Amino acid sequence: MLVKELKIAFINKDIEKLKELSKQTPNISSIEEAKELKALIKEINLFLTQEKNKILKDMQEIKKLKKFHKEIKSF
């Protein structure tokens, strides 16, 4: 069940749902399910890392724009 919910949250790029699901303990019933969960977690981790990097880049851009705006205002 957890694997299915993770897949849906991942496809929908629902970070809040992924966060919520990450707190659950999976009930794995087979080696195949464990492998599938491992691969899914790897993909989710990559996605979240990319999102974090985008946010950091956006924050740096905002800081630059604020600084630029402040400098222009002082003229």
- pLDDT at 15 (0 to 100): 96
Q: How many domains are contained in the chain? A: 1
For the entire predicted model, the pTM comes to: 0.79
Identity (one letter) of the amino acid at 6? L
The DSSP line for the chain is: -HHHHHHHHHHTT-HHHHHHHHTSPP---SHHHHHHHHHHHHHHHHHHHHHHHHHHHHHHHHHHHHHHHHHHHT-
The residue segments making up the domain with residue 69 are: 2-73
pLDDT class of 73 with cuts at 50, 70, 90: confident
65 or 1: whose pLDDT is higher? 65
- pLDDT at 41 (0 to 100): 96
* Rg of the chain taking only CA atoms, in angstroms: 19
What tens digit of pLDDT does each residue of 6-49 get?
999 999 999 999 999 999 999 999 999 999 999 999 999 999 99
